[in-house]
């Protein structure tokens, strides 16, 4: 059975996706799922976290960019077997507005990737990071990231970057 409301289709669901409630704990679960996909270097799961039209403000890029571009860069940098990723996520606050959920949280990030040209390591350290991820239900009723903004409350230490 498929429901269509104003062009949004929700196959097989009793309630159309526009009318489903998003619960704060669902959003918190998605944030942890995002970081688990990132740290476990699961490319398919990581890419699946975003809506096709999603935008991202990364921690160092001065303008928004497509999530596809940000994901490709993160995969290239951090999903190599030699690269390392450590994350600690603080308390996740969730605001709900209709079918949109906004998750905000502090995080600590440390990672290393290796340059393709010469194999030298690049250290990434964000001791006091701030994350905002805006989620929306997709047509299948799954929460996906519509917009993301990561920043660091401190400038990079010598020899490191705050880029993710």
- The closest alpha carbon to 133, from 93, 98, 99, 162, belongs to 93
Q: Which two tokens stand for residue 91?
A: 């308390």
DSSP state of 78: H
Provide the residue ranges of all domains of the chain, joining segments of one domain with +: 21-161
Can you give the pLDDT at residue 119?
Answer: 83
Can you give the pLDDT at residue 125?
Answer: 92
| Mean of the per-residue pLDDT values of the chain | 87
Q: Per-residue pLDDT tens for 74-107?
A: 999 999 999 999 999 999 999 999 889 999 999 9
Can you give the pTM of this predicted structure? 0.83
- List, as one string, the DSSP characters of 147-164: EEEEEESSPPPTTEE---
Taking domain 21-161, whether its CATH number is 3.10.450.50 is answered by: yes
- Contact assessment for residue 24 and residue 103, using Cβ atoms and an 8 Å cutoff: no
Percentage of residues of the chain with pLDDT beyond 90: 68
């Amino acid at each position: 059975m498929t429901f269509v409301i104003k062009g949004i289709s929700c196959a097989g669901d009793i309630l159309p996706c526009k009318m489903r409630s998003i619960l704060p704990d669902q959003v918190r679960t998605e944030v942890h799922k995002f970081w688990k996909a990132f740290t476990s270097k699961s490319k398919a799961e990581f890419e699946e976290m975003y809506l096709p039209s999603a935008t991202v403000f990364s921690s160092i890029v001065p303008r928004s960019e497509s999530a596809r571009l940000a994901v490709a860069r993160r995969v290239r940098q951090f999903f190599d077997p030699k690269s390392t990723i450590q994350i600690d996520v603080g308390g996740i606050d969730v605001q709900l507005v209709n079918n949109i959920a906004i998750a905000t949280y502090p995080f600590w990030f440390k990672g290393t990737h290796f340059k393709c040209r010469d194999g030298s390591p690049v250290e990434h350290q964000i001791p006091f990071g701030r994350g905002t991820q805006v989620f929306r239900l997709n047509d299948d009723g799954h929460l996906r990231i519509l917009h993301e903004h990561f920043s660091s409350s401190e400038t990079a230490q010598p020899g490191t970057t705050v880029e993710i």
